[in-house]
């Protein structure tokens, strides 16, 4: 059974790229959101296994969204993404409820699988 994924990023071009990439690697992309508030609603409606969540969103940052999702009764797994490297977020990543972090330039099914196996 494929892992269902919600992609949350404010850049439509990246969402299109990520959708195509993940589908080609066997993931089931169930939806997309462009900001934190719509992501919260989409998670409630779609119940994805995984939320691929951009750190920098126009309304809420990804860390706040991850914390809110973690407080849900049946939280999805959250993997944070950014064009910036993990070193840029070292302190915040240390305390996040998200499962892990992947730089957008390194996004792949294998990278997601590696984070999920931690």
Check whether 8 has a pLDDT greater than 90: yes
List the helix and strand counts (H, then E) for the chain. Answer: 5, 5
Are residues 43 and 76 in contact, defined by beta-carbon separation less than 8 angstroms? yes
Strands (E), 1-118: 4-8, 28-33, 50-54, 77-82, 100-103
Which homologous superfamily is 4-116 in?
Response regulator (3.40.50.2300)
- The whole-model pTM stands at 0.94
- Sorted by where each begins, the domain ranges of the chain are 4-116
List pLDDT tens digits, range 29-64. Answer: 999 999 999 999 999 999 999 999 999 999 999 999
Neighbours of 33 (CB within 10 A): 24
Q: Give the span between the Cα atoms of 21 and 29, in whole angstroms.
A: 10
């Amino acid at each position: 059974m494929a892992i269902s994924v919600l992609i949350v990023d404010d850049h439509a071009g990246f969402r299109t790229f990520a959708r195509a990439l993940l589908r080609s690697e066997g993931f089931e992309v169930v939806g997309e959101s462009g900001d934190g508030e719509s992501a919260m609603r989409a998670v409630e409606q779609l119940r994805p296994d995984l939320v691929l969540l951009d750190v920098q969103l126009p309304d809420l940052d990804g860390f706040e969204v991850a914390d809110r999702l973690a407080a849900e009764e049946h939280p999805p797994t959250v993997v944070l993404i950014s064009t910036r490297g993990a070193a840029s977020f070292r302190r915040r990543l240390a305390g996040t409820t998200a499962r892990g972090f992947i730089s957008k330039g390194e996004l792949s099914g294998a990278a997601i699988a590696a984070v999920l196996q931690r």
